[in-house]
Amino acid sequence: MPETGHPSPSYTISQLAAEFDVSARTIRFYEEKGLLAPRRTRGNQRLYGRRDRTRLRLILRGKRFGYRLEEIAEMIGLDEVDPDEAAQIRKSLAFGERKLGEIHERMRELKLMEEDLRSVAAKLRRRLAQLEGGAPEDA
Partner DNA sequence: CCCATAATTGACGTTAACGTAAACGTTAAA
Partner DNA sequence: TTTAACGTTTACGTTAACGTCAATTATGGG
Binding site for a second copy (CB under 8 A): 58, 61-67, 75-77, 83-84, 86, 89-90, 92-93, 96-97, 99-100, 103, 106-107, 109-110, 112-114, 116-118, 120-121, 124-125, 127-128, 131-132, 137
CB of 95 to DNA, least distance (A): 18
Sequence letter at residue 107: M
Residue 37 or 122: the one with the smaller Cβ distance to DNA is 37
Tell me which of DNA, a second copy, none is bound by residue 78, counting a contact when its beta carbon lies within the kind-specific cut-off of 5 to 8 angstroms.
none
Between the CA atoms of 83, 88, 94 and 95, what dihedral angle is there, to the nearest 10 degrees? -80
Which range touches DNA (CB under 7 A), out of 38-46, 75-83, 98-106, 109-117?
38-46
Residue from the set 9, 19, 45, 127 that interacts with DNA by CB under 7 A: 45
The DSSP code for 48 is B
Q: Which of 6, 74, 15 is CA-nearest to residue 45? A: 15
CB of 94 to a second copy, least distance (A): 10
Residue from the set 10, 49, 69, 95 that interacts with DNA by CB under 7 A: 69
11: β partners: 48
CB of 106 to DNA, least distance (A): 17
Name the CA radius of gyration of the chain, rounded: 23
Determine if 75 is a binding residue for DNA (CB under 7 A): no
Distance CA 83, CA 74 (A): 16
Cα-based distances in Å from 114 to 65, 105, 111, 127: 16, 14, 5, 20
